Amino acid sequence: MSSLNFIGGEKGGVGKSVVARVLAQYLIDKDLPFMGFDTDRSHTSFTRFYADYAAPVLVDSYEGLDRVVSVFENATEGETPRVIVDLAAQTAAPLARWVKDSDLLELLADMGVAVNFWHVADAGKDSVDLLDRLLDAYGEGPNYLIVKNLGRGTDFSQLEASPAMARALDMGAKIVTLAQLHEASMRKIDRQNASFWAAIHNRADDDALGLLERQRVKNWLRKSYESFDSLPI
């Protein structure tokens, strides 16, 4: 299945780039080709960790965002393109304008491309309100994948009991739970500027993971992959 995956959540600090990185590693480990785009001008986290697979793009430029869809147009026969777009905070408005003006959802539906909006949530009320806005913006049609990021909170009862969640589930939304990776291990990986694969196999760096840290990262990825296996990606 070809898919276009917008990794969002609108607010900063909910873990959008971590989800994009895990999804990228999932596709790499499954030997599924993909192209990534990073819309964060300040941190460029996605391109930093997956430079061989991702490129920067300006979300407030139609020409920039058009590059995302050109991946599907330029695919050769037999290819199944997959695209990951790591959305920076405060990008919902320009993205929605581009999608609407381009009639993107209908176009990609005709091309057989699944459009997935990943809503990465923490345990706060903002994530509930922003989910409501996401559903208002796109309605029926795309797939909604709601990520409860346990690295950004553990009590998601407010989200789970919200009318926004009920509405999303009525639209066929799928719930993904991303477990928390031990903070010290994540800091070491970040300081290495390494992919998860590289971090697991790096033994020489000062910030190299120890034996049990490597095992915990492998276990964390395995659990994440299991939650991704049933998704339309």
Q: Phi and psi for 58 in degrees, rounded to 5?
A: -90, 120
Q: For residue 148, which of 128, 120, 113, 174 has the smallest C-alpha distance?
A: 120
- Model confidence at 1, pLDDT cuts 50, 70, 90, reads confident
Q: Which residue has the higher pLDDT, 79 or 164?
A: 164
- Which 8-state DSSP code applies to residue 115? E
How does pLDDT run across 196-233, given as a tens digit for each residue? 999 999 888 888 999 999 999 999 999 999 999 999 98
- What's the pLDDT at 205? 81
- The CA distances from residue 50 to 98, 99, 138, in Å, are 26, 26, 29
120: tokens are: 């990465």
- Please determine, for residue 43, whether its predicted confidence score (pLDDT) is greater than 80: no
Q: Write the CA distances from 76 to 72, 84, 154, 159, integer angstroms.
A: 9, 19, 44, 42
* Nearest alpha-carbon partner for 15 in 135, 150, 141, 129: 150
Residue 196 has what pLDDT? 94
Using an 8 Å Cβ cutoff, are 118 and 147 in contact? yes
3-state secondary structure (DSSP) of residue 22: helix
Per domain, the residue ranges of the chain are 2-180
In this predicted structure, which of 40-49, 94-103, 132-141 has the lowest mean pLDDT? 40-49
Work out the pLDDT band at 41, boundaries 50, 70, 90.
confident
Quick check: helix, strand or coil at residue 147?
A: strand
Q: How far apart are CA 122 and CA 129, in angstroms?
A: 12
Quote the pLDDT of residue 217: 95
Residue-wise pLDDT for 144-203, tens only, equals 999 999 998 899 999 999 999 999 999 999 999 999 999 999 999 999 988 999 999 988
Distance separating alpha carbons of residues 63 and 56, to the nearest angstrom: 13
Are 220 and 179 in contact by the 8 Å Cβ rule? The answer is yes
CATH superfamily of 2-180: P-loop containing nucleotide triphosphate hydrolases (3.40.50.300)
What predicted TM-score, i.e. pTM, was given to this entire model? 0.94
For residues 86 and 60, which has the higher predicted lDDT (pLDDT)? 86
pLDDT reported for residue 208: 92
How far, in Å, CA of 191 to CA of 43, rounded? 14
The CA distance from 73 to 86, in Å, is: 20
Looking at the DSSP bridge assignments, the partners of residue 64 are none
pLDDT reported for residue 59: 86
For 84, the token pair is 């990951």
Question: pLDDT by residue (tens digit) across 88-133?
Answer: 888 999 999 999 999 999 999 999 999 999 999 998 899 999 999 9
222 membership: H or E segment, kind and range: helix 211-228
125: phi then psi, degrees, rounded to nearest 5? -70, -30
How does strand 143-149 pair with strand 82-86? unpaired
